[in-house]
Amino acid sequence: MNYEIIIKDIPKLSFNVYNSAHWSKKTRFKHTLQVLLLSASRLKLEGGYSLKFDFYFKGRKMDSVNTFHYCKIFEDVIFKEDKENRQICTETHKDSKENKVIIKIIDK
């Protein structure tokens, strides 16, 4: 079975900025994303899926590699055992009217 989760109002923070932030700011960012995801879906899965993340941000486009910290945080919430997942693909879009991510979870 395939799933789609839409999470709106995500904070825009590149990996470069996230990685150099104080641990307390990283924790706050992670908690914010967890709350937003759980507000959008309570889906819990075992693993063995492929994931596609479509990020939409206001303003300038963010490089796809600068979004992988979002992917890891979301993956940790959704999956009990994420090491079984097969493929993760990210795509970013610019000039959106809102900051959001669409997560597509594709079955084996």
Instruction: Scan for tokens 């590699």, then name that residue.
Output: 65
Domain count, the chain: 1
Tokens of 71: 């992917």
pTM of the predicted model, to two decimals? 0.92
User: In this structure, what CATH number is given to the domain that contains residue 13?
Assistant: 3.30.1330.70
Tokens for 2, please give them: 């395939």
Beta strands in 1-108 (DSSP E): 3-8, 50-56, 88-93, 100-106
Q: Is 79 helix (H, G, I), strand (E, B) or coil?
A: strand
pLDDT in tens, 32-83: 999 999 999 999 998 889 999 999 999 988 999 999 999 999 999 999 887 8
Is 105 strand, coil or helix? Answer: strand
74: CB partners within 8 A, 6+ apart: 7, 33, 37, 53, 101, 103
Q: Which domain holds residue 89?
A: 2-106
What number of helices (H) and strands (E) belong to the chain?
3, 4
